[in-house]
Amino acid sequence: MELPNGGVNVQPLRNFINGVFVPAVSGSLMDTTNPATGEVITQLPLSKAEDVALATQAACNALPGWKSTTLEERIEWLEKIADVLEEKSEDIARLETLDTGKPISLSRRVDAYRSVANFRFFAEHATELPNLQYEANGAVNHVHRSPVGCVGLITPWNLPLYLLSWKVAPALLMGNTIVAKPSEMTPLTANLLAETMAELGLPHGVFNLVHGLGPDVGQAIVEHPDIQAISFTGGTATGRIVAATAAPMFKKLSLELGGKNATVLLDDAPLDSIMDDLVRASFTNSGQVCLAGSRILVHNAIYDEFEQRFVEAVNALVVGDPQDEQTQMGAVISRDHQSKVESYITLGLEEGGRVIAGGTSAQVPFPNLPSQGAFIRPTVIAGLPISCRTATEEIFGPVVTLHRFNDEDEAVAMVNATDYGLAGSVWTASANRGHAFAQRMDSGIVWVNTWLNRDLRTPFGGVKQSGVGREGGLWSMNFFSELTNVCVQR
Ligand code: NAD
């Protein structure tokens, strides 16, 4: 007989406030569901502003003690957290697959790996923080760095612990205390992180976790006057609400938002060697990656050959049970999200497109997968104008559109014809040509002949409506610290 939750034991979750696991003050709970089966995994607290107030009080109380620790002591904490998370890698992968419906191989390779790597990276790179001094006019300017204070961290469902740890590690390192809120759809690994903090005996109140809905818990974090900075990753529409609330309070704000990223194949793109990468850039995590290439722009000279080979490669992807090691694409995050993504496939047809691979689950059903599972085949739509809604709005699912161009100027105009500017990639036999093209793209990150090749020291973030501010290396450490200057006359 199949064990519930694939044999993973998941107890009802509680908030983690002041070093103790507690229910929401109201006692209310909500379900979290496995999107691959539609089954309830467990319950989490349906917290409100009163729970955020308790967590913030705990974080404020813990701040003086935590900020008085040395950088070396905090580096040691990060290393200890990384060690324990590494021991729990398989648990992280299993919980992430249960919560998100992503393939277990992906959860191991990306989610579990990066969650550990984020803590290790910031522990190692803290020692490279520059000690800045400037001399002029007979005086020495000493640049000092102090924590911002109590910070709010709000994260989405697509890479749950990967993105939470990307904020928690630099925030702790720079001496801040934390009130964190994971997505209500994927709370399991945030809970694992809280358990890890408790096992290690991190001082009470330094890391607090409040579960619940965005408009309740997220909004209460952003509104709380004692939270001095907000680091938010999520959709552009939510980012707009977060900014509208935080800006008049003059909070430090980092917004990592949505994207509609272009993958550009110049006329010399080496099709023989890049097809796997292009499929990966389009459909990793069912396309639910903010950096996914969801619009593929191809030079006319190679378009026909590309289209045929790409469709073949896409149709060969194994869509199935996320627990199966062979599965390459699992479920999308929920039935609601499935409906949203499928409505874009329908819209694509209405806007004049041709579905040349995949289609909605009604058009191409999955006879061997749970009927309540949120599965969609990898879908490719050709023949759409670049300015239509399907080609300009973020779908955040396994749907890509293909477009032709005649020359580089036209391609640049097509790339830049969206409100977003997060990421993109260029594929060409000439690295120099690719590099030159990349600099004409309105995009925070461009990869030339690669995709999702991440060096954690580099600035990460979007332009236009894809975000405000940068994360990564020194940029994260700067965000989570206040730089002040003392000028000493000699
Ligand atoms: P979302 O905006 O719906 O939710 C993100 C988080 O914000 C969740 O924890 C949610 O509960 C919370 N939230 C909702 N309303 C809130 C409010 N009023 N105040 C404060 N918090 C609130 O996003 P999602 O659907 O969870 O994630 C998908 C989106 O995230 C996509 O648009 C994707 O592109 C984006 N994303 C961006 C990056 C990046 O680095 N730029 C990375 C991953 C995902």
Q: What is the pLDDT of residues 193-207, one digit of tens each?
A: 999 999 999 999 999
Rounded distance, CA 152 to CA 262, Å?
32
Atom of ligand 1 nearest to the CA of 219: 19
**Same domain membership, residue 271 and residue 238:** no
191 and 125 belong to one structural domain:
yes
Kindly state the DSSP code that residue 329 receives in the 8-state scheme.
Answer: B
Q: Is the distance from the beta carbon of residue 216 to the nearest atom of ligand 1 less than 6 Å? A: no
Mean pLDDT of 339-360: 98
For residue 221, which atom of ligand 1 is closest to its CA? 20
340 and 242, same domain (yes or no): no
The string of DSSP codes covering 174-209 is TT-EEEEE--TT--HHHHHHHHHHHHHTPPTTSEEE
Left, alpha or beta for 183 (phi > 0: left; psi -120 to 50: alpha)? beta
Mean pLDDT, residues 330-344: 98
DSSP strand pairing (15-17 vs 20-22): antiparallel
State percent of the chain over pLDDT 90.
Answer: 97
- On whether both 336 and 249 belong to a single domain, the answer is no
Question: How many residues in total does the chain contain?
Answer: 490
pTM score over 0.95: yes
> Do both 345 and 248 map to the same domain?
no
**Cβ(373) – ligand 1 distance below 6 Å:** no
The residue segments making up the domain with residue 358 are: 261-456
Distance from C-alpha of 19 to C-alpha of 17, rounded to nearest angstrom: 5
Is there a single domain that holds both residue 245 and residue 134?
Answer: yes
| Active-site annotation holds for 256 | yes
Compute, in angstroms, the gap from residue 301 CA to the centroid of ligand 1. 39
**Alpha carbons 304 and 342: distance in angstroms, whole number:** 26
Q: What is the pLDDT of residue 2?
A: 52
pLDDT digits (tens, 9 = 90+) for 40-63: 999 999 999 999 999 999 999 999
Ligand 1 site, residue 184, Cβ cutoff 6 A? yes
CA distances from 3 to 25, 37, 39, 40, 372 (A): 32, 13, 12, 13, 17
pLDDT tens digits for range 64-90:
999 999 999 999 999 999 999 999 999
Ligand 1: residue whose CA is nearest its atom 37: 257
Q: Is the CB of 422 under 6 A from ligand 1?
A: yes
Q: What CATH number is attached to the domain comprising 276?
A: 3.40.309.10
Residue 411 corresponds to which tokens in the numbers above?
């391609």
- The pLDDT value given to residue 186: 98
CA 128 to centroid of ligand 1, rounded, Å: 31
E strand or H helix at 15, and its extent?
strand 15-17
Is residue 3 one of the residues assigned to a domain? no
Query: Taking a C-beta distance cutoff of 8 angstroms, is the pair 83, 194 a contact?
Result: no
Q: What is the pLDDT of residue 3?
A: 52
245 and 275 in a single domain? The answer is no
The CA-to-CA distance between both ends of the chain, in Å, stands at 79
Residue 6 domain-assigned? no
CA of 12: how far to CAs of 45, 195, 490, in Å? 8, 13, 62
Number of domains in the chain: 2
Q: Tell me which residue has its CA closest to atom 34 in ligand 1.
A: 258
Q: Are strands 150-154 and 229-233 parallel, antiparallel or unpaired?
A: parallel
Q: What is the DSSP string of 150-168?
A: EEEEE--SSSHHHHHHHHH
Mutate to test the pocket of ligand 1, among 154, 163, 232, 340 (most ligand atoms within 8 A of CB): 154
Q: Is residue 437 part of a domain?
A: yes
Q: How many Cα atoms occupy the beta-carbon half-sphere of 174 within 13 Å?
A: 27
Region 144-153 average pLDDT: 98
* Cβ-contact 422, 258 below 8 angstroms: yes
Residue 198: give its domain's CATH number.
Answer: 3.40.605.10
Specify if 5 maps to a domain: no
User: What pLDDT does residue 1 have?
Assistant: 39
Q: Is 236 helix (H, G, I), strand (E, B) or coil?
A: helix
If you take atom 14 of ligand 1, which residue's CA is the nearest one?
214
Clarify whether residues 330 and 231 are in a common domain.
Answer: no
Do both 451 and 471 map to the same domain? no
Q: Is 212 in the pocket of ligand 1 (CB under 6 A)?
A: no
Looking at the fold, whether 482 and 450 belong to one and the same domain comes out as no
Residue nearest to atom 39 of ligand 1 (CA): 256
Q: pLDDT tens for residues 228-243?
A: 999 999 999 999 999 9
Q: How many CA atoms lie within 13 A of 13 on its CB side?
A: 31
**C-beta separation of 227 from 56 below 8 A:** yes
Query: Mapping DSSP to helix (H, G, I), strand (E, B) and coil, where does residue 483 land?
Result: strand
